[in-house]
Amino acid sequence: MYFYAARQPILDIDKNLYAYELLFRDSIINVFPDIDGDEATTKMIEASNFNLGISEFTGNKPAFINFTLETLIKGYPETLTTDEVVVEILETVKPGKKLLSICKDLHDKGYTIALDDYIHQAVWHHFYPFINIIKIDWQDTTVDTIKEVKTAIEGYPHIKLLAEKVETYEEYNQALELGFVLFQGFFFAKPEMVKTKSLSPSQIAMAELLYETSQTELNLTSITAVFERDVTLSYKLLRYANSAIFKRRSEISTIKQALVTLGSAELKRFLGLMFAANINPEKPSELINSAMARAKFCDLMASQVKSPIDQAIAFLTGLLSLIDAIVDEDLESILTKLPLAQEIKDTLLTRKGDMAALIMLLEFIERAEWSKATEVMKTLGLEKAEVLKCYNEAIAWADEQTIANY
């Protein structure tokens, strides 16, 4: 059995990762709402306890999980710890005495409770002492209604407002001004503004190295020369190459020796991660994490498509698929500044070909758009189970890299 889920980041006021919402499906074909809500929650809990632990999928961040009234009555939230789960009460659950009793009991036991897609009604006032988070659909709620909610919860300072479906930086700023402190949506994965940005010497060096390592035949002399011009980059390379994960017969004492130790494939991974992590240090680490997960996923899937793709190129293309969001600049403008192989530029700009299809597949999985993901998999000749296995592996790998670098 595989764990079929997508995770959507929830960020705090400083754009730091606060939690993930897990969107569960019992297979990549079965698209919600074709699945009964009770069944979806039940399988989510089953998977978390007996298959893949939720903490492994969320990097030890809390998981927002939807619960129906039936699954709340059965006590399913209590199969998870108070640190693992935020009990998200679906908008289809009507407020009543039974639900109020359950909320009070969960609150007393230390669970965090959120109301999903909140529709403001006076009856919810009875629940406020036990509710921690109110989620408001930004696309479907007026500013006047939001102000009404804020007035209603004035006496309950423990309640946090979460804006979901925030799609642009302007919407994020407006939500901030209205007092929201948690945010969910794709605003962080889009450029905040279009502007020209110069690269630091280290970033220019990394751009040169990305070009060198995108070539079929590596020019070790040229690559060594670039490293030798940048002390910081050289230090990080030597520290990385001296890691215990690389089996060495002797200590590394030169840049060239470090490059040989890493080998072509590992050097390309190292440079890609270094570039993404340092190109814009003000960006939330979750965005870098997403780029790393994309890179690893493309790397893992490259050899499995009908027309196999070079894994190093796949890794770098996946990594750069969010570069416009990381740099806060138009994609075409960015790519003119980076001396990348034309194959990579074409994939990212034209969105055509198998490599571009892999990127689209990732985007559909991230959004839990399983029917669209299934169509792309058919086109690429990929097995559903293997895709989900690689996706989970890529997320776990990216989480490990993020912990090591932040």
219 and 174 in a common domain: no
Tell me, what's the pLDDT at 128? 96
Lowest mean pLDDT among 166-170, 171-175, 244-248, 255-259: 244-248
Residues 173 and 319 in one domain: no
Q: Which of 78-82, 83-87, 100-104, 325-329 has the least mean pLDDT?
A: 325-329
> What is this structure's pTM?
0.61
Indicate whether 122 belongs to any domain.
Answer: yes
Instruction: Please give the pLDDT value at position 265.
Output: 77
Q: What pLDDT does residue 48 have?
A: 45
216, part of any domain: yes
Residues 184 and 241 in one domain: no
**Which CATH number does the domain housing residue 389 bear?**
1.10.3210.10
Instruction: Flag whether pLDDT at 193 surpasses 60.
Output: no
Domain boundary among 155, 189, 223: 189
Higher pLDDT, 402 or 134: 134
Secondary structure E strands in 103-254: 112-115, 133-137, 160-164, 182-184
Mean pLDDT of 222-237: 73
User: Do residues 245 and 180 share a domain?
Assistant: no
Residue entry with tokens 């959004």: 367
CA distances from 388 to 20, 49, 175, 321, 391 (A): 18, 18, 34, 20, 5
The rounded distance, in Å, linking the Cα atoms of 89 and 67 is 5
- Residue 156, pLDDT > 50, answer yes
Q: Which residue has the higher pLDDT, 175 or 328?
A: 175
Contacts of 193 (CB under 8 A, 6+ apart): 169, 328
Residues 222 and 329 both lie in one domain: yes
pLDDT at position 329 is 73
Domain count, the chain: 2
Domain boundary (189, 218, 237) is at 189
Q: Looking at the structure, do residues 229 and 176 belong to the same domain, yes or no?
A: no
In 3D, which of 208, 192, 211, 212 has the Cα closest to residue 200?
A: 208
Domain range for 256? 201-405
Does 3 score more than 80 pLDDT? Answer: no
pLDDT tens-digit series, residues 122-147: 999 999 999 999 999 999 999 999 99
What mean pLDDT do residues 74-93 have? 87
181 pLDDT band (50/70/90 cuts)? very high
163 shares a domain with 22: yes
Q: Return the minimum-mean-pLDDT range out of 29-33, 346-350, 351-355.
A: 29-33
Residue 77 domain-assigned?
yes
- The strand pairing partners of 337, in sequence order, are none
Position 232 scores a pLDDT of 63
Average pLDDT, the chain: 78
Alpha-carbon Rg for the chain in angstroms? 23
Domain assignment of residue 196, yes or no:
no
Q: Which DSSP state fits 199?
A: P
> Per residue in 48-69, pLDDT tens?
443 345 666 677 789 898 888 8
Q: Which of 117-131, 191-205, 275-289 has the lowest mean pLDDT?
A: 191-205
**Listed ranges 2-16, 45-59, 276-290; the one with the highest mean pLDDT:** 2-16
Are 367 and 274 in the same domain? yes
Q: Which residue has the higher pLDDT, 98 or 345?
A: 98
Comparing 181 with 315, the larger pLDDT belongs to: 181
The pLDDT, as a whole number, for residue 56 is: 63
Residues 39 and 143 in one domain: yes
Q: Is 204 exposed, middle or buried (0-12, 13-18, 19+ CB in 10 A)?
A: middle
C-alpha 149/C-alpha 343 separation (Å) is 51
194, part of any domain: no
Q: Residues 261, 179: one domain? A: no
CATH number of the structural domain spanning residue 174: 3.20.20.450
Residue 53 lies in a domain: yes
Considering the domain boundaries, does residue 396 fall inside one? yes
Residues 130 and 57 reside in one and the same domain: yes
* pLDDT (0 to 100) of residue 204: 64
Taking the CB of residue 150, how many other CB atoms lie within 10 A of it?
15
- How confident is residue 81, by pLDDT bands cut at 50, 70 and 90? confident
Domain co-membership, 175 together with 261:
no
How much is the average pLDDT of 16-34? 60
**Would residue 195 count as lying in a domain?**
no
Residue ending a domain, among 132, 165, 189, is 189
